[in-house]
Amino acid sequence: MTVTQQRATPIGRPLGLSEAEVAERRARGLTNAVPFETSRTYKRIIFENTFTFINTALFAICIALAALGLYGDAVVTVSLVIGNVVVGIVQETRAKRKLDSIALLMRPTATVIREGEERTVDPNDIVLDDILVVHPGDQILVDGEVLDENGLSVDESLLTGESDLIRKRVGDTVHSGSFCMTGSGIFIARKVGTESMAQQITAEARAYRDVRTPLQREVRLVLQVMLVLVAALSIQVGIAFYESPDDPGLREITQAAAVLVSLVPQGLVFMVTVTYAMAAVRMAGSGALIQRMNAVESTSNIDVLCLDKTGTLTTNTLVLDSLEPIGVDEEHLRTVLGDYAAATTAGNRTIAAIAAACPGRERKVVGEIPFSSSRKWSALAFDDAEGRGFYVLGAPEMIQPALRSADGLQPRVDAWTERGLRVLLFAYRPNPAPLPDGQSEPSLPAGLIPMGLIALRDELRPEARETIERFREAGITLKIISGDNPDTVAALARQAGFPAGIRAVSGTTLGDLDEQALMPVAQETTVFGRITPRQKERLVSALRAQGHYVAMTGDGVNDVLALKRADLAIAMRSGSQVTRSVADIVLLNDSFAALPKAFLEGQRIRRGMRDIIRLFLVRTLYVALIIFGTSAAGAAFPITPKHNSILALLTVGIPVFALAAWARPGNTPRRLVRSGSHFVFPAALSIAWVAFVVYMFYLSRGAEVITARSALTTITILCGLILIPFAQPPNEAFTGGTSLNGDWRPAILAVGLLGVYVGVLAWPVAREFYGLEVLGFLDYVILAHIAIAWAVTLRFAWRLHALDRLRAAWHRVRGR
């Protein structure tokens, strides 16, 4: 629906299209209608969370369990899959709704001229050859050709990354995604819909982007290895059953199959999702919207963070840094500057900064020349009781030729420029100069008298210096990629806390470099200026090719390609819609001060998952080794599904939730599984050996199989519970497998779970449900002493680094 609205404009107005012409173009499909994708679609969210390798594998396990008649186990497995999918969808859908609401609030409108009248319309209602009007602050929504203008300057930073305003004249092209900042203009729509520049740049943003974190890749590898292990072990057990002199029976075979299938750590996948959800909850209210579940964990892997200057380090506003009066006192200079800023009709960031620092009065203006990025100055003529005169404000190098005297100006200009400041010269002539009639190009009159130099600086975000320091302390390399002048950006970076000797290069020097030559430049350089969107993408790719885990922040369409190439994409709330839609994290307050908290949460996830993976792997390996050993010895299958369920519940199922909730931030190795081998293999091998000996001892004494199985279940539960404080040592007595944690809660939990197991043994209903048999008091005393002896021995083996010594000896033997 369109709404008719009259609005005066200072420039000429064509009639525009008629309603019939608009209807004819709509019928031909020549409209600006493009899919309004504020974020990922619900379909994509559901697809990405449902159809994964891990979920497919777990579904296959579920089918296998159901085929064996173990419907309860099948329900548990499918519940884990559904829980995994639902948690992911709910979290990412919540983020989508938030982004959608932001996009709707920020969705622009367009002003078109049709049948001689201005109308405010939705962007999708624009058609080819429509006549559009723009005023300061309006977004240009289609590509077009300027028909008329009055000091029109546009900001194309979202497209190019350059913050300088671009002057547009009749016949020039304006691009969708840019903004009218000064003056006004009328242009005709030449490219609409998918043909516009912004849509062409963002076309690649709609391609599928699937970034898996190192943790997710490791978990997937663990599942793949376990599937192979289960397949191999199943063959071995099957052969043992076939060669057994006694008929094992269908029930025994079915139970063995159920235990073997359960060796695949199905809960490990669910715990990854749970820890992601916990982190998202803890991040709520921090100013960071988590759009992808794995984004928080991904932050902990970052070793290179690429920042954009505008909107990231700075607030996109200028502030007055210094004034140097020339021939007048500072108070008078401030008064005239304030009057100049107050009287200027075509405002911009420079005028806003001066107005904020120098309050002004309303003066009678008899002429005005708006600022132009090509001539780099603006001018006003006053004629009232306060005085008469022609005043000009602009770049010193553009005004100096018209000065009566420029003695002593250049040293101060050079000194301020080297500091990264934006230097302006303010000059005047006592009598108002004749102003151009609008048809000729304005020029400066000779004999101008300098009144003062003005230094402006980009306003750093208040949290920028502290945030940068926190990232540097965390060992993260920071790089700034900008469309602005590299020297200016480097000076600003030094103000924000970067070292004095940082290296800066211009994008013009990168164009001829191939991928191999670009790598060392990307590695060694801190500031990149005058960079195009494609060069941003190439720089991110070059850093990733050297093994870096790269995060990229951006706000404009020009950042989209680099964001999609990065391991972690971070967008600003005020940025373009397409940038927010491809981002993993959206900074709701446009402040990257939220990132250090996300980094700590990512560390918390990895530390929690480090302990969770260790417990899962230890349990899986020792159960597999026990099955292998007893099968090779020709003994009865050692574990039933019910025994396995209580063993898994008490030693892994309940503890992992607590470990995830109690995890603390801290550094962890990049490869959790490999680094955990020091903990996992000694623990798994020793538990398997102890349990195998206990089981075979009971069988050798003529005990019933159920008695031997109950003894095996008891010793493995005791060892598994002792392993919990070993995973998070509360004091030095439990260190060896990992470093001191100092948290007593895991140890207290282990004692509580031991009490639960005692309760199960004491309650006949629970004992019968789990298929356990009560042993003699002396049996439990002996098993407890065995568990204690095992713990002491394991701690000794860890402290001796026995596994590392064996590995080193093996490498020495192979090297001979």
For 389-415, write each residue's pLDDT tens digit: 899 999 898 899 999 888 888 888 888
pLDDT at 311 over 80: no
pLDDT digits (tens, 9 = 90+) for 488-542: 788 888 888 888 888 999 888 887 888 899 999 999 999 998 888 788 889 999 9
Positive or negative: CA dihedral 10, 14, 18, 21: negative
For 557-566, 757-766, 787-796, which range has the lowest pLDDT when averaged over its residues? Answer: 557-566
Helix (H) or strand (E) holding 379: strand 377-384
516 or 86, which is more confident? 516
Instruction: Name which of 15, 16, 4 is nearest 128 in CA terms.
Output: 16
Q: Which alpha helices (H) appear in 508-593, and where do they start and end?
A: 515-524, 533-545, 560-565, 577-582
Enumerate the CATH 1.20.1110.10 domain ranges in the chain, comma separated.
266-276+601-815
Range(s) of the chain covered by CATH 3.40.50.1000: 281-314+462-598
Q: Which residues lie below 8 Å from residue 625, measured CB to CB, with a gap of 6+?
A: 684, 685, 688, 692
How many Cβ atoms from other residues are within 10 Å of residue 298's Cβ?
27
What Cα–Cα distance (Å) separates residue 6 from each residue in 114, 128, 133, 262, 426?
11, 22, 12, 72, 39
Which of 100-114, 243-257, 547-561 tops mean pLDDT?
A: 547-561
Q: Which residues contact 188 (CB under 8 A, 6 or more apart)?
A: 129, 130, 131, 132, 144, 145, 147
The dihedral sign for the CA sequence 570, 572, 577, 580:
positive
Give SS3 for 167: strand
Better-scored residue on pLDDT, 688 or 200: 688
CA distances from 272 to 22, 45, 495, 620 (A): 54, 18, 40, 17
pLDDT for 763 equals 93
Catalytic residue from among 308, 321, 559, 611: 308
Tell me how far the alpha carbon of residue 56 is from its chain's centroid: 27
Q: Which residues of the chain are in CATH 3.40.1110.10 domains?
A: 321-456
What are the structure tokens assigned to 633, written together? Answer: 């010895």
Distance between CA atoms of 809 and 801, rounded to whole angstroms? Answer: 12
* pLDDT tens digits along 196-241: 877 776 655 555 456 778 888 888 888 888 888 888 888 877 787 7
What DSSP state is assigned to residue 432?
P
Q: In the prediction, which pLDDT does 164 show?
A: 64
Q: Is pLDDT at 347 greater than 60 in this prediction? A: yes
According to DSSP, the residues that pair with 570 across neighbouring strands are 553, 585
**Distance (Å, whole) CA 402 – CA 174:** 32
Distance between CA atoms of residues 748 and 357, nearest Å = 62
Crossing angle of the two packed helices 745-762 and 705-727, in degrees rounded to 10: 160
What percent of the chain stands above pLDDT 70?
A: 87
How buried is 596 (Cβ within 10 angstroms: 0-12 exposed, 13-18 middle, 19+ buried)?
Answer: buried
Strands 550-554 and 304-307: parallel
Largest CA distance in the chain: 119
Per-residue pLDDT band for 290 (boundaries 50, 70, 90) equals: confident
User: 495, exposed or middle or buried, with CB in 10 Å at 0-12, 13-18, 19+?
Assistant: middle
Angle, nearest 10°, between helix axes 705-727 and 677-700? Answer: 160
Query: Model's pTM, two decimal places?
Result: 0.70
Q: Could you say which architecture CATH assigns to the domain 281-314+462-598? A: 3-Layer(aba) Sandwich (3.40)
Considering the domain delimited by 3-195, tell me its CATH architecture: Distorted Sandwich (2.70)
| 291-320 mean pLDDT | 82
Mean pLDDT value of segment 258-276 = 76
Instruction: Assess whether pLDDT exceeds 80 at residue 567.
Output: yes
**Does the pLDDT at position 2 exceed 70?**
no
| DSSP three-state, residue 304 | strand
Residue 349 pLDDT class (50, 70, 90 cuts): confident
Tokens of residue 408, six digits: 């002593």
pLDDT tens profile 568-584: 999 888 777 667 777 88
pLDDT of residue 75: 74
- pLDDT given at position 542: 95
Check pLDDT > 50 for residue 4: no
Give residue 755's identity as a one-letter amino acid code. Answer: G
What is the fold, at CATH topology level, of the domain defined by 321-456? Calcium-transporting ATPase, cytoplasmic domain N (3.40.1110)
Instruction: Supply the pLDDT for residue 39.
Output: 53
What class, spelled out in words, does domain 266-276+601-815 have in CATH? Answer: mainly alpha
Higher per-residue pLDDT: 277 or 726: 726
**Amino acid identity at 581:** S
Ranges assigned E (strand) in 575-618: 585-587
- The question of whether 308 is a catalytic residue gets the answer yes
Chain centroid, CA 117 distance in Å: 46
Angle at 783 between CA 624 and CA 719, to 5 degrees: 45
CA angle 53, 55, 60 (to 5 degrees): 95
Handedness of CA 684, 690, 692, 694 (dihedral sign): negative
Q: State the pLDDT at residue 86.
A: 79
Beta carbons within 10 angstroms of residue 235's beta carbon: 10
**C-alpha gyration radius of the chain:** 35
Phi-psi region of 628 (alpha: psi -120 to 50; beta: other; left: phi over 0): alpha
CB-CB contact of 431 with 389 (8 Å): yes
pLDDT recorded at residue 790: 96
For residue 605, what is the enclosing H or E element? Answer: helix 594-632
Residue 259, pLDDT > 80, answer no
Q: Please indicate whether residue 765 or residue 295 has the higher confidence score (pLDDT).
A: 765
Q: What pLDDT does 490 receive?
A: 87
Query: Of all residues in the chain, what percent carry a pLDDT higher than 90?
Result: 29
- Residue of 423, 420, 496 whose CA lies nearest to 460: 496
Report whether 169 contacts 140 (CB < 8 A).
no
pLDDT per residue over 68-79, tens digit each?
676 766 776 677
Distance, CA of 680 to CA of 620 (rounded, Å):
10
In this structure, of 312-316, 616-620, 683-687, the range with the lowest mean pLDDT score is 312-316
Tokens read off for 488 = 């200016």
- 41-57 burial code (b ≥16 CB/10 A, e <16): eeeebeebbbebebbeb
Query: Mapping DSSP to helix (H, G, I), strand (E, B) and coil, where does residue 528 land?
Result: strand
Helical (H) or strand (E) element with 492: helix 486-495
The answer to whether the CB of 753 falls within 8 A of the CB of 721 is: yes
115 vs 482: CA distance, rounded Å = 43
CA distance 122 to 572: 24
* Res. 5 pLDDT band, cuts 50 70 90: very low
Cα torsion 289, 292, 296, 298: sign: negative
Q: Average pLDDT, stretch 645-653?
A: 88
**What spatial distance separates the first Cα and last Cα of the chain, rounded to whole Å?**
83
Judge whether residue 735 has pLDDT over 80: yes
Average pLDDT, the chain: 83
Helices 594-632, 677-700: inter-axial angle, 10-degree rounding? 30
Contact predicate 167/173, CB 8 Å: no
Best CA proximity match to 409, nearest among 420, 424, 387, 393: 424
